[in-house]
Amino acid sequence: MTNRQRRLIPSTLTVAVLLSVSHQALAATDFIGADQGKLHLTAGFNDVDGAGGAGLVPLAFITGYGSSDSWGANAHVTSVHLDDFQLTAYGVAVGALDRVELSFARHELEVVHGPLDGLGVDHDIIGLKIKLVGDTLYRQDSWLPQIAVGAQYKKNKGIKDAASVGLPGVTNPTQLGAQDDSGTDYYLSATKIFLGQSLVVDVNLRYTKANQFGLLGFGGDQDDGYSLKPEAAVAYLFTRKFAGGFEFRAKPENLGVDTEDNAWDAFVAWTPTRNISLVAAYVNLGSILGPVTSRTDDQKGTYLSFQVGF
C-alpha cells in the first residue's frame, strides 16, 4: 500500500461520517426548527477554507437555509487537482439566526508529480463569521450590501514523508522559512445580489500572513508581517438553481523558497435540490514552490465540490 493510499483511508472514512451525519440531520430538520427559509443559491456554498462562500473566497452569506428565526448547516467535500498537487478539503459549517456562522475544515495536500512526489501537508481551519448589516436579497431597494466580518484560525499539522523526497528531518513549515505553524486570517466581506440583472457581486479585504492558504505556515524570511489583500467574486444567475462566475484571491509572498502568486477561478454552481449542491471550476493557484517542483509557471487544474445541507 502506498503512502497516498494510506492517507486516503482516514479521509474517506471522515467524508463518509460527515455525509452520514448530514443525511441524518436532513431527516430531522422538521423536528428541530430548521425552517429552510432561504431561496436556492442564497444559502452560500462552503469555500475551500470552509466558510459560506463560493470556491476560493467567502461571501457575506451565512451558511445554511435557516432564516433569521432558525438555523442551518452544510457539509462539503472538495477536491482540487493541479499539475503537481492534489488538495482534498472537507468540513462542516453551521449558521444560526442568519447572523452567526461557525465552520471547521481540514486540508490535505499531497505532491503527486515532480521531485517532491509523495510529500504531504495537512492543516485545520476553524472559522467564525458575523453578519453586521444589510440583507443581500430582500433589500433590493437599497444599495447597501450585506456586510460580514470573519476570522479563520489555521493550524498546520506538519509535513509528512519529507525523508522520502530527500528532505530528512523536515516536519514543520518553520523549517522551510515560515515563522509560525499557526495563524489567523481576518476578513471583511460585502455581498450584493442585483435581482434585476441576475448578478451577485462580492468584494473582500483579507488581513493575512498565511503562505499558500496556511499550508506552508505563516510569515517568512521575506516578510513576517500581516498584509491586506483584496478578493472578489462575481456570478451570473442563469436560473434559480444554476449560476456561473469568476473569483480572484490575492495572496502574500513571504517565503524565499516559494514564489507565491495570486489565485483565480471560473466556476459554475448548481443546486439540483435544496439539500444538494455542486460547484465545479477551472482554477489557477499561481506558482507553488516553483523553484523545487517540476513547473516554474502557474499550477492550474480542476476544482470540484460536493455539498449537502439544510
For 106-122, write each residue's pLDDT tens digit: 999 998 887 778 788 99
pLDDT at 206: 98
Model's pTM, two decimal places?
0.84
**Residue found by looking up cell 524565499 in the block:** 256
For 167-222, write each residue's pLDDT tens digit: 777 778 888 888 999 999 999 999 999 988 999 999 999 999 999 999 999 999 88
From residue 244, alpha-carbon distances to 95, 163, 182, 200 in Å are 24, 43, 34, 10
pLDDT at 3 over 80: no
Alpha-carbon distance of 51 to 226, in angstroms, equals 21
Annotate 116-152 with DSSP letters as a single string.
TTT-EEEEEEEEEEEEEE--TTT-TT--PPEEEEEEE
End-to-end Cα spacing for the chain: 38
High-pLDDT (> 70) share of the chain, %:
82
Pick the CATH number of 3-309 from 2.40.160.40, 3.30.420.40, 3.40.980.10, 1.10.760.10: 2.40.160.40
pLDDT at 13 over 90: no
Instruction: Give the range among 18-27, 51-60, 138-147, 274-283 with minimum mean pLDDT.
Output: 18-27
